[in-house]
Structures are given as structure tokens and as C-alpha cells.
Structure 1
Amino acid sequence: MIVHLWNYLYRNIFRFWLKWILRQFTGKCELQRICDSSKKRAERTLEIEYSLESSKCKALQSSVYASKDEVEKCVAIIITEKKINIQKDTGFVSKLQLCLLQISGCKKLYLAVEDLRKQLYNSDNKEHEEQLMELWNWLMPHEKLKARITKQWCDIGFQGDDPKTDFRGMGMLGLTNLLYFSKHYPREARQILARSNNPKLGYSYAIVGINLTEMAYNLLKNGFLKTHFYNLVPGEPQLKDFHQFY
């Protein structure tokens, strides 16, 4: 109760006056002070994001959703709203643009990942079937499938003779992650698959992979991956960056 009360008072009263006092002393708005500080990468972008989302100005709030083509316009609006002299603060524009690209990029990345997760595996979809066959070929290059529906799928960690039933929770995202890892890191993927067949310490390779997809998805959904991407990607994070995290 006390924590909630303090958060409310700080966000709605104390923070406003603190920002006002600091602007009188420094001659710079909060966004400028964040960009001027020694903070780098994720630390700076997270603070910029919080500042914009906490603003009472709708234009500043909406800037965190700006597309790549809208970033320059949003920065211009922020400069006007905050009465920033960019001739005196020459590094402000480039730093703020980078932060906005990262912030909006993470939001777009989540939507792209969510679309893949919601896309159910369809055995009548040629592209889905080709990706599944490609996964088998990367993991088992020296063994051919005897049929589309076969117990051989259990050899790479699926639960039954038709893998499509195992993709229900994570949809095509689960398959895409498994395929990305197997395709870009074939040696490591085959080593892990070989260890999964240990009679005492073994595990279901594909099922564990799908569970890891769920973990990565939840981290992205809950905002815990923002720090990772803000530190790693100098701009908009792409779907391949999520696969790389996986």
C-alpha cells in the first residue's frame, strides 16, 4: 500500500517538480540530461523510454511506437515541444534517434514473434512441410525418412510419429527456432542431439527446444529482453536477433 502510494505521488507530483527544478539549474530537459550523461546503450535507452512513456504530452508518449520512417519527425516534434536548442546540444538528435529506433523496434519484434507463435503448423501448407523436412535433413543428414508420418521423428525428440502435434503451444515459432539453430549451428545441434540420446541422462531434443522457445517468448513478452537487445543491436532488432538469442 505504501509502495503504491509513493509510486503514485512520485510519478504524478514529485517527479514533475524535480524535473522542473533540474531544468532551471541545468537549462536542459530530462531527455537532454539522459543523453548528456555517461549512460550508454541499454541504460540510456531504458531511461529515455521511461521518460517518454511518463510524459503528459501525447506526442511524446506515442513516439515510442514510431516506425523507422517516422523517427525523424518524432524527434522534430520532441525538439519543438521541449524547446531544445540543437545548435547548443549537437549530439542530442542522433542519440535520441537511436533510442527511438531501439524502443519501437523491440515493440515491432514482439509483434512479429507473436504472429509466428499464433501461426499453427498446417500439414497442408507446403512451406511448413518443407521447413519440417529441412529440420530433419540438418539434424539427420545420413538418414532418410521412410515416410512423412513415422516413429523416426522420435529420434530427434518429438513425442510421436507426427511432429505437428508438438507445435501446438508455440506454433511455427517453435519450428522456426529449431530450424534456425540446426541450420546456423549444425555441428553444435548434432552434438546436443547425440547427447540427448544418453540412456541415463537423455532428454527429448525437439521438445526441450520448444520449451526453450516458450521461455524466450515469455522473456520478450514481459519486457525482460529489452536490455539484451538495447545493448546488442544498434537500431531496430530483427527476427533473426530473437532467433540468435534462442
Structure 2
Amino acid sequence: MWARVWGFLYSKYFRFWLKWILRLLTGKCELQRLLGRAEAGARRTLSVEYSLESSKNKVLRDAVHVEEAQVEKCVRDVMKEKKIEQNDTRFKTNLHVSLLQISGYKKLYLNVENLRKVPYDSENEEHEEQLIELWNLLMPHENLKARISKQWCDIGFQGDDPKTDFRGMGLLGLVNLVYFSKHYTNEARQILSRSNHPKLGYSYAIVGINLTEMAYSLLRNGALKAHLYNVVPGLPQMEHFHQFYCYLVYEFDKFWFEEEPESIMHFNQYREKFHEKIKGLLLDHNVVLTLQDTKKP
């Protein structure tokens, strides 16, 4: 309770006076101080984002909602509003990068959300091709005998037709599974093999779709900002979301076998424990969660 009270008092009263005092002492506004000393990455961009959102100035508040095409103009408007010389190239460049990251995060979420909203359609040739590609990537030495087949259970789907398993995450779930299998084929096959463990096994594809939901929810609530601001010095793309998903798949498999659950019936409990672990890691402003960094010796 005291933390909430302090947060309210700080944002309502103390922050204004602290900024005023620092402006007198340094001769610089808050944005100049943030963009002048901090290194590129999440710590700087998150501070800039908070500063803009908290401002009483409408031009500054609106800056966090600017689209990519308007970033350059927005930078000029902010500099004019704060009476910062337009030839201050360091300020201009750093603010431009931070605004690109902020606008890019919002755009990435919309792109991911739009893909999630696309239902899997067995009449759509592209959807069907991606599903067959998933099978071929994971089971290169076994032919799929029919489109509707018990064989789908071999890679962790629930029944004869995988399309029913994509209802929650739509096409996003399939795209994630294919991406991991295509870009980390050896790891995907190894994890699929481990998922068939007689005691600690789990449904590979179903868990993969569940992890898509986890990645999506972390993106939606803003928890991925620090990670993406550190990884991408500009506009985050769908590729970066897929890479984070790959990290989750790889790390969840390790987590599952380290925890040694009594049975798959406890999946939700361990899934939530893993979720909390990831959320804890994402609180670090220096966080980078990629499969490449995980696998470094």
C-alpha cells in the first residue's frame, strides 16, 4: 500500500519539483538529461517513454503515439517545444531511435494480433502448405499417409486434424511452430524426441501453441519492451517476436525436465511457474532473451 501511495505522491507532486530543481542545476530538461547520458537500449527508451507519458505538455504526450512515418517530424516538434537547438544532433538521433522503438513495439503488437485473429482454414492452400511443412520438418523420414490422420498425434497434436488445436491462437500458433522447426531444426527434433519421454513426456505441438499464447500475452501487456528495446535498435519486426518464441520453447523444455513433474496433469501449475520465471527475467532493464544467447558456452 505504501508503495502505491509513494508512487502517487511522486508522480503528482515530487516529480515536478525534482525536474524543476535538476533543470536549474544542469540547465537541461529531463529529456536532454535522459538522452545525453544513457546508453542505447531499454533503460534509456523506457525512461524516455515514461517521461513523455508523464508530461503535462500535449506535444510530448502525443509523441508516444506517433507512427513510424511521423517520427522525424515529431522529433523536430519536441525539440521546438522544449527550445532545444535543432543542430543538437546527439539529442535528435537518440530521440529518433527511442521513438522508433516505441512506435515499433505498438506496430509489432498489432501485426501479431492480426495474425492471431486469422483462423486456421483447411480450405486455404497456404495454411495447408505450412501445416505439411511442419510435418516434413519434424518427421523427415516418415511420410504423412493422409491429411486427416492419427499420425498428427506423433508430433503432439490432440487428434486426427490439427486445425482444431489452432482455435485459441489462430494462424500465429502454426507460424511459430513452423518458424522454430525451420530455423532451429535440430533443436526442434531433439525437443520433439524428448517430449515423447515415457514418464516426463508432453504434447509437443499443444505445448508449442500454449507458449505462443504466453509470448503473445507478454507482448500485449508490455512486458517484452525491455527485451525488444535491447535487441532492436529501431523498429522491432515479427522476426523478433518469433525469436523470443523460440527462446521460450527451448527454455520450457529444459525447465520441464529439471522440474520433473509427476505427470502431465500438473502442466498448468508448471506452466504458470515458468511464466513467472520469465516475467521475473523481463523486469531487468538489461535483459536479452534469445536462443542464440542461451546456447552460448
TM-score (norm 1): 0.95
Q: 1:96 maps to which residue?
A: 95
Residue in structure 2 matched with residue 51 of structure 1 by the alignment: 51
Residue 146 (structure 1) shift: 1.3
Higher deviation after alignment, 4-13 or 174-183: 4-13
Tell me what 2:69 maps to. 69
Post-superposition shift, 1:125?
1.5
Q: How far has the Cα of 1:187 moved from its partner?
A: 1.2
Give the Cα–Cα distance (whole angstroms) in 1 for the partners of residues 89 and 74 of structure 2.
17
Query: What 5-or-longer segments of structure 2 have no aligned partner?
Result: 246-297
Query: Tell me, what secondary structure is at the counterpart of 1:91?
Result: helix
1:48 Cα deviation from its structure 2 partner: 0.3
In structure 2, C-alpha distance between the alignment counterparts of 1:126 and 1:53, rounded to whole Å: 45
Determine whether 1:215 maps to 2:217. Answer: no
Which range is displaced more, 131-140 or 9-18?
A: 9-18
- Superposed displacement of residue 16, structure 1: 1.5
1:2-61 deviations in Å (ceiling 9; x for gaps): 444433332222211221221122111100000122444110010000001111222211
AA paired with 1:65?
H
Matches within 5 A, 1:122-141: 122-141=121-140
Distance between the aligned counterparts of 1:58 and 1:180, measured in 2? 42
- Residue 85 of structure 1 aligns to a residue in which SS? coil
TM-score normalised according to structure 2 size: 0.79
Distance 1:139 1:75 in 2: 48
The residue type paired with residue 19 of structure 2 is K
Moved more, 8-17 or 108-117: 8-17
Amino acid at match of 1:12: K
Letter in 1 for 2:57: C
Moved more, 218-227 or 73-82: 218-227
Name the structure 1 match of 2:225.
226
For 2:283, the equivalent position in structure 1 comes to: none
CA RMSD, Structure 1 to Structure 2 (Å): 1.4
Query: Are 1:80 and 2:102 an aligned pair?
Result: no
Partner SS state of residue 65, structure 1:
coil
TM-superposed CA distance for 1:69, in Å, is 1.7
**Whole-angstrom distance in 2 between the partners of 1:38 and 1:95:** 10
- Give the residue type in structure 1 aligned to 2:82: K
Map 1:167-206; keep pairs closer than 5 Å. Answer: 167-206=166-205
d(CA) in 1 for partners of 2:180, 2:55: 41
Distance 1:8 1:189 in 2: 47
CA contact (8 A) 2:177 2:209 kept: yes
CA distance in 2 between partners of 1:237 and 1:75 (Å)? 19
How many pairs are equivalent?
Answer: 245
Amino acid at match of 2:119: L
Identity of matched residues, %: 69
